[in-house]
Amino acid sequence: MFAFYESEYSHILMLPDLKIEAVSERDIDLLILEELTVSQEFAQFFLNDVGVENEFKSREVYHSVTESDLGESDLVLLCNNSDGQRNAILIENKIDADAQPEQADRYKKRGELGRSKGDWSTFITCIIAPQKYLNSKGDADLYDFQISYEKLIDIFECLNGIDEQRKNYRKNLLQLAIEQQRRGYAAKIDEVVTEFWQSYYKLLSDYFDILKMDAPKNKPKKAGFIHFKPDSLIGGNFKLMHKFPFGRVDLQTSWLKEDIEECKKRNVDILDKDMNIIKTGKSCSVSISVPLMDAQKPFLDQQESARLAMQSAVRLLEISKSIVGK
In 3D space, the residue among 44, 53, 54, 113 whose CA is nearest the CA of residue 84 turns out to be 54
In the 8-state DSSP scheme, what is residue 246? T
- Tell me how far apart the alpha carbons of residues 291 and 306 are, in angstroms, rounded to a whole number: 8
Indicate whether 176 and 260 sit together in one domain.
no
| 210 and 173 part of one domain | no
Q: Write the single-letter amino acid at 134.
A: L
Q: Measuring CA to CA, how many Å separate 39 from each of 33, 79, 149, 161?
A: 10, 14, 18, 8
Among 98, 99, 295, 96, CA closest to 194: 295
* Structure confidence at residue 185 (pLDDT): 56
Residues 270, 233 within the same domain? yes
Q: How many domains does the chain have?
A: 2
- Of 32, 29, 12, give the one whose Cα is nearest residue 153: 32
In the sheet that holds 225-228, the strands lie side by side as: 225-228, 239-243, 248-253, 283-289, 275-280
In a domain, 177, yes or no: yes
Beta-bridged to residue 225, according to DSSP, are: 243
Both 172 and 227 in a single domain? no
Kindly state whether residue 250 falls inside one of the protein's structural domains: yes
pLDDT of amino acid 55: 65
What is the pLDDT, as a whole number, of residue 258? 61
Please give the pLDDT value at position 35: 95
Q: Where are the alpha helices (DSSP H) in the chain?
A: 25-38, 40-49, 103-116, 131-136, 149-158, 164-183, 191-207, 260-266, 303-319
pLDDT attached to residue 131: 94
> Does 3 reside within a domain?
no
> What is the C-alpha to C-alpha distance for residues 126 and 313, in angstroms, rounded to an integer?
34
Same domain as 261, residue 157: no
User: Is position 166 within any domain?
Assistant: yes
Q: What local confidence, expressed as pLDDT, does residue 12 receive?
A: 37
Alpha-carbon Rg for the chain in angstroms: 22
Query: Does the global pTM surpass 0.85?
Result: no
Residues 307 and 282 in one domain: yes
Instruction: Provide the β-strand partners of residue 277.
Output: 286
> Do 31 and 118 lie in a common domain?
yes
pLDDT per residue, tens digit, the chain (326 aa), is 333 333 333 333 444 455 676 788 999 999 999 999 999 999 989 988 888 766 677 889 999 898 877 888 999 999 888 777 889 999 999 998 777 778 899 999 999 999 999 999 999 999 999 999 998 887 888 999 999 999 999 999 999 878 888 899 999 999 999 988 887 756 678 899 999 999 999 999 999 999 999 999 888 887 889 999 999 887 678 899 999 999 999 998 866 656 778 788 888 888 999 999 887 766 788 999 999 999 999 999 999 999 999 999 999 999 998 887 65
Residue 7 lies in a domain: no
Distance from C-alpha of 177 to C-alpha of 129, rounded to nearest angstrom: 9
Same domain, 227 and 270: yes
Say which CATH number the domain at 113 has.
3.40.1350
Q: Considering 183, 214, 230, which residue would you say is the last residue of a domain?
A: 183
**Whether residues 174 and 268 fall in one domain:** no
Q: Is residue 173 located within the same domain as residue 105?
A: yes
CA 232, CA 239: separation in Å to the nearest integer? Answer: 11
pLDDT of residue 313: 98
Domain final residue, candidates 183, 208, 224: 183
Residue 279 φ/ψ region, left for φ over 0, alpha for ψ in the -120 to 50 degree band, beta for the rest? beta
Tally of residues, the chain: 326
